[in-house]
Amino acid sequence: MIKYFCGSTTASVSSISIIFESQTPNPKLNEIPAFCKEEVSFLSISKNKRMAATLGLISMFCCVMLFPRLHAVILYTESNSSSSPIANLTLDPVKLKLTWDSSVSFTEYTCCMEVGQRFVCKMVYNKTCMFSIIQAKPIHKGALFRVQAMHNHTLYSAEGRFIPQGMNGTSVENFSCVIYNISFMNCTWKAGRNAPEDTQYFLFLQYSKKEDEQECPHYIRDAPGRHIACSFQDVKDIKKRVYFLVNGSSNESEIQFYDEYIKLYEIEKLTPPLNITVNCSEDPAECIVRWKRPQLSHMEGSGDGCFEYQIDIRNKKTNANPKESSNELPTVTKTSFTFQNYNVKKKYTLQIRAKGDICRISQNWGEWSEPIEFGTDGDHE
């Protein structure tokens, strides 16, 4: 049995499912891989080796590395035996940055990231490939990274499989975030159903793969003191897709991490429309309602045509048209509305809310405006 030690983390070959036969001693077995010291490098396991589990004939390379807040195993395979010119693949899993060595001067490489049935590929002209936040996929369920290049009509490739570690059911569940009041954000989650009682969770976000992650500045704790939510102030770049990472620690077991990419504008709870006015007339019996769009930190220009508005006008005395029947309430895309069948002898209340119609604006209904009263007091029914 072979074990590699990376800091305080230990990996035994019995915990890895990918193995291969070896009839001859491999000098690499006597070395501790250099990648255990810093980043994770993929280990060489040739594809042409037959998968087997014969006792006495098994050689295996593995390394468990505590990434900056991540536990994972990386397994690497080459395409054309050990003579493949592409070697020494290295992954920074948080920045999704791949680097490698090559003994051949390829003019271009294709690097790919595959998660489940989804994949993204890009072409690069040097031995570095970074997947941007726009391209990237969550990797908490595992991922496959691949580099390919053509030389003398032969396609060479190297790939590494990213395998998260930790006991199933220990990562956070029901993770969600909402932005409110233009620049405040709350994120909430539940502890994993199999998480030990001493598990503590930590939330990080990243606006760009070229930037470092930012840890939650204000955690909210439950009665036992476990982090169950986070509050951010002055959230920026709401138009962007942002990376969220929640990891955990426990003295009893490794905790699975959870990651997700979220377009911030999609989780924003819009503030109410502004400057609502009502002007009524008896002939014709109608009221003209006008307002301005909600305030947004990332909106440039007037924003005309970007919103849909819902109008809730009720008879104050009978409370007709309750919000429970909101699907029947009128909606408009302009910042004005004409209320027909206005009865000058009745008093009404008015509320308006907004959501994105097009543009980079949340398509969930925002907050209702404060009720505005108009009309005559309801003694004349």
pLDDT digits (tens, 9 = 90+) for 17-36: 222 222 333 333 333 333 33
**Per-residue pLDDT at 289 exceeds 90:** yes
Give the list of residues 6+ apart from residue 27 with CB closer than 8 angstroms, or none: none
- Residue with the larger pLDDT of the pair 236 and 327: 236
pLDDT in tens, 97-112: 999 999 999 999 999 9
Phi, psi dihedrals of residue 112, rounded to the nearest 5°: -135, 150
**How confident is the model at residue 73, as a pLDDT?**
80
Cβ pair 84, 77 in contact under 8 A: no
**Per-residue pLDDT at 147 exceeds 60:** yes
Local confidence band at 213 (pLDDT 50, 70, 90 cut-offs): confident
**How confident is the model at residue 282, as a pLDDT?**
86
Domains of the chain and any CATH numbers: 3-164 (2.60.40.10), 173-267 (2.60.40.10), 274-375 (2.60.40.10)
Local confidence band at 4 (pLDDT 50, 70, 90 cut-offs): very low
Cβ pair 35, 90 in contact under 8 A: yes
Distance from CA of residue 40 to its chain's centroid?
23
Give the list of residues 6+ apart from residue 203 with CB closer than 8 angstroms, or none: 187, 215, 216, 219, 227, 230, 244, 245, 246
Query: 272-275 long-range contacts, Cβ below 8 Å, gap at least 24?
Result: 272/352, 272/353, 272/354, 272/366, 272/367, 272/368, 272/369, 272/370, 273/309, 273/335, 273/352, 273/353, 273/354, 273/369
**How confident is the model at residue 33, as a pLDDT?**
37
* Of the ranges 38-47, 233-242, 308-317, the best mean pLDDT one: 308-317
The total of other beta-carbon atoms located within 10 Å of residue 49's CB is 14
**How confident is the model at residue 75, as a pLDDT?**
81
**Per-residue pLDDT at 226 exceeds 90:** yes
The total of other beta-carbon atoms located within 10 Å of residue 103's CB is 9
* Stretch 217-237: mean pLDDT: 92
* Stretch 53-68: mean pLDDT: 32
DSSP string, 7-34: TTEEEEGGG----EE-SS--GGGGS--G
* Stretch 220-224: mean pLDDT: 91
* Stretch 298-323: mean pLDDT: 78
**How confident is the model at residue 92, as a pLDDT?**
86
Residue 318 tokens read as 């009978």
Among candidates 233, 128, 247, which has minimal Cα distance to 192? 247
Q: Of 79-83, 129-133, 239-243, 259-263, where does mean pLDDT reach its minimum?
A: 79-83
**How confident is the model at residue 378, as a pLDDT?**
56
Share the mean pLDDT of the chain. 78
Instruction: Name the burial class of residue 350, with classes exposed (0-12), middle (13-18) and buried (19+) by CB atoms within 10 angstroms of its CB.
Output: buried
| Strand partners for 164 | 72
Task: Report the SS3 class of residue 267.
Answer: helix
Tell me whether strands 70-78 and 331-332 are parallel, antiparallel or unpaired: unpaired
* Stretch 264-274: mean pLDDT: 93
**How confident is the model at residue 178, as a pLDDT?**
95
**How confident is the model at residue 249, as a pLDDT?**
93
* Stretch 194-222: mean pLDDT: 92
pLDDT in tens, 317-329: 887 664 444 558 9
